[in-house]
Amino acid sequence: MTTDDGGNDAVEEAPEPPDTFEDTIWPDVNRTLTAVDVRPERSVLDLIVHIPKADVVRGLGMLKNDEALQFNYLRSLTAVDNEADGVDVVYHLYSVPNKFNLTVKTTLPNDDKVLDTATPVWQAANWLERETAEMFGVTFTGHPDPRPLLMPEDVDMSDTHPLLKSHPYAEIDILQGELLGHDRDADEGD
């Protein structure tokens, strides 16, 4: 680990049984998100906060507007497909005045991938949500411009969500030589 986050972020240490997250910005975050059900988690670099999907945009707004935190910069917004466990939508926040980092996560069940848009909180979320929507099939309600971003405009690909694990890789034929085919699966995991 070579990154030093000014002592504000999670630092690796031996896990003690009841982790109070005292060395992180968790106390401030917890104070800010009073009426929201949140759960902290350590990661290698930043603190992760899990917020239920119903409260996430409200929570993000609170984090942005809180005087002590001021998460006014949305670094990145994406999703992670956990297959059976649903899709995690991940927000990476940064506070320009305070230099805090925070990761906010919310889990969407596979049968209800609908989430409120974060565009009222940060304009930056606009294109990032469009990309997440087309790549993972997450619907962001209230999004001002819900067109696809990277996928073709002229073909209807509303059912195609390439970054879901269920979406296959493109099958590349092994064309070399005399169209030789052989079993590559045996090599897996060497």
Partner 1 sequence: MKGILKSMMVTASTFARKPVTREYPEGHRELPERDRAFPLLLWDQDIDEPFCTGCHACERACPVECMTVIMKDNPNHTSNDGPSKRRKIIDKFYIDYARCMRCNICVEVCNFEAIAMNNTWQGHETSVYDRSDLVMDLPQLLAQSKAKQIEEWVAE
Partner 2 sequence: MVVDAPTPSEAGDFETQDLLINVGPQHPSTHGVFRMVLEIDGEVVKDLVPYIGYLHRGAEKLCENFDFRQGIGYMDRTEYLAAHNAELSYVMAVEALAEIEVPERAQWIRMILCELNRISSHFMFLGAFGVDVGVFGTPFIYAWREREAVIDLFEEISGDRMMYAYFRPGGLAWEVPVNFEERVREVLASSRQGVKDFDGLLTENEIFIARTKNVGVISAEDAIEIGMSGPSLRASGVPLDLRKTEPYMYYDQLEFEPITAEGGDVFDRYLVRLKEISQSIDLIEQCLERLEAGPIMAEKMPRMLRLPEGEAYMRTEAPRGEYGIYMVSKGGNKPHRVKVRSACLSNLQALKQMSVGQYVADAIIILGSIDIVLSEVDR
Interface with partner 2 (CB under 8 A): 1-6, 12, 43-46, 48, 72-76, 78, 80-81, 90, 92, 96, 99, 101, 103, 122-124, 126-128, 131, 148-153, 162-163, 167, 169, 189-190
Alpha-carbon distance of 164 to 170, in angstroms, equals 13
C-alpha closest to that of 136 among 150, 153, 123: 150
Shortest distance, CB of residue 168 to partner 1, whole angstroms? Answer: 15
Q: Does 13 bind partner 1 (CB under 8 A)?
A: no
Q: Which of 22, 176, 183, 185 binds partner 1 (CB under 8 A)?
A: 176
Is 184 a residue that touches partner 1 (CB under 8 A)? yes
Residue 46's binding partner, choosing from partner 1, partner 2, none, with beta-carbon cut-off 5 to 8 A by kind? partner 2
Helix, coil or strand: residue 84? helix
Q: Show the beta-strand stretches assigned E in 52-163.
A: 73-81, 87-95, 100-108, 114-116, 139-141
Binding partner of residue 185 among partner 2, partner 1, none, CB cut-off 5 to 8 Å per kind: none
Among 160, 177, 41, 22, CA closest to 102? 41
Return the beta strands (E) in the chain as ranges: 39-42, 47-50, 73-81, 87-95, 100-108, 114-116, 139-141
Least distance to partner 1, CB of residue 187, Å? 5
Binding site for partner 1 (CB under 8 A): 172, 174-177, 180, 182, 184, 187, 190
